[in-house]
Amino acid sequence: MKVLVTGGAGYIGSHTCVALLEAGYDVCVIDNLDNSSYEAVKRVEELTGKKITFYEKDILDKPAMEEIFAAEKPDAVIHFAALKAVGESVAKPLEYYHCNVFGTIALLETMKKFGVKKLVYSSSATVYSSVKEMPVNEQSFAYVTTNPYGWTKIMCEQIIRDTCHADPELAVALLRYFNPVGAHPSGRIGEDPAGIPNNLMPFVAQVASGKRERLSVFGNDYPTRDGTGVRDYIHVCDLADGHVLALGKITDGNGVYTYNLGSGQGTSVLEMVKAFEEASGREIPYVISPRRPGDIAEVYADASLAEKELGFKTKRDVYDMCKDLWNWQAQNPNGYQK
């Protein structure tokens, strides 16, 4: 079975390509390398000993997409390609709506034209940002969010649900990721953020390697056990495995399946810093700074539906996430750049 992976050179996409190839799928990747490097694809091939057909193309380029679908004849698509920085989306909303929403529509149109009926879509826990009750289950979803990036995820989910409603042969998994962290245990692939990392753990890793002086902890006055923000961190390899399970589910069925992919555990910023210090043996200097605008106190998953229906259960804990992140960071202090 052949899977076309959009955004497959990116952080989650590259780890998912490893899991797919190891599970016996054939893989082709479309990525415009806007936020990634071809080196990641080469390393996935090196890790698995298998080939990936790679197209450096934009998903908005319909003629190119049609040529690729005609040549590859994929059985299923996993759609990662998107812009994903929350803060940037506030400054550049039109770029985000253009890439994420039009890109998803272009993909769905191409799938329709070529009769491709299986899709796994990268959604996000950001769709829960207005929800107060924890943990959040798939029904907690409210059509409210705090930023354009979040809106693109809510809109794309809805566009996909409507498309499925119109074509009962379609089978789609909407996967709502919590906070992916870590890297492949080999240290060969990992997260390679451009510029100053927005997310907590890539920033912590750069403090450990000496690239940044200290971490700013955004707020210690939240109503949480130590006052810092609580999130549900999930090892990127567990997340990748979740895609293989979701693909299995939609291969056998049709309709829309929505799953939280998280660990079900909430961990605070200071607990993550401590876990990283233990895993790396490095001290992480930090200062308490004001809250980051738009942040919420806590969000963590009720992950029981994915466990029940997919057999999905995380195997790696926060220590494993930190150990593998540090292994990647120490081996690749400049990411994929030599």
12 binds ligand NAD (CB under 6 A): yes
* Phi (first) and psi of residue 250, to 5 degrees: -80, -15
Residue 32 interacts with, from ligand NAD, ligand UDP, none (CB under 5-8 Å by kind): ligand NAD
Q: Tell me the closest approach of the beta carbon of residue 194 to ligand NAD, in angstroms.
A: 9
Is residue 121 within 8 A of residue 173, CB to CB? The reply is yes
**Residue span binding ligand UDP (CB under 6 A) among the ranges 64-72, 130-138, 209-217, 248-256:** 209-217
Instruction: Identify the DSSP state of 246.
Output: H
Residue 152 interacts with, from ligand NAD, ligand UDP, none (CB under 5-8 Å by kind): none
**Which residue, 7 or 219, is less far from ligand NAD as judged by CB?**
7
Query: Among the residues of 73-199, which ranges form H helices?
Result: 86-91, 93-96, 103-113, 148-166
How many other β-carbons are positioned within 10 Å of the β-carbon of residue 144? 13
Which residues in 213-272 contact ligand UDP (CB under 6 A)? 215-218, 229, 231, 269
Q: Tell me the closest approach of the beta carbon of residue 36 to ligand NAD, in angstroms.
A: 3
284 binds ligand UDP (CB under 6 A): no
Instruction: Identify the DSSP state of 185.
Output: T
Q: Tell me the closest approach of the beta carbon of residue 227 to ligand NAD, in angstroms.
A: 23
Residue 326 interacts with, from ligand UDP, ligand NAD, none (CB under 5-8 Å by kind): none
**Which residue, 35 or 327, is less far from ligand NAD as judged by CB?**
35
Q: Tell me the closest approach of the beta carbon of residue 165 to ligand NAD, in angstroms.
A: 22
Binder of ligand NAD out of 1, 2, 34, 226 (CB under 6 A): 34
Q: Tell me the closest approach of the beta carbon of residue 149 to ligand NAD, in angstroms.
A: 7
**Strand pairing class (233-235; 286-289):** unpaired
Q: Tell me the one-letter amino acid at 256.
A: V
Is 55 one of the annotated active-site residues of the chain? no
Interface with ligand NAD (CB under 6 A), residue total 29
Tell me the C-alpha distance between 86 and 93, whole Å.
Answer: 10
33 binds ligand NAD (CB under 6 A): yes
Tell me the C-alpha distance between 235 and 228, whole Å.
Answer: 21
Task: Please provide the DSSP assignment of 17-60 as one string.
Answer: HHHHHHTT-EEEEE---TT--HHHHHHHHHHHT---EEE---TT
Tell me the C-alpha distance between 312 and 63, whole Å.
Answer: 37
Q: What residue ranges bind ligand UDP (CB under 6 A)?
A: 179, 198-200, 203, 215-218, 229, 231, 269, 292, 295
* Residues noted as catalytic: 149
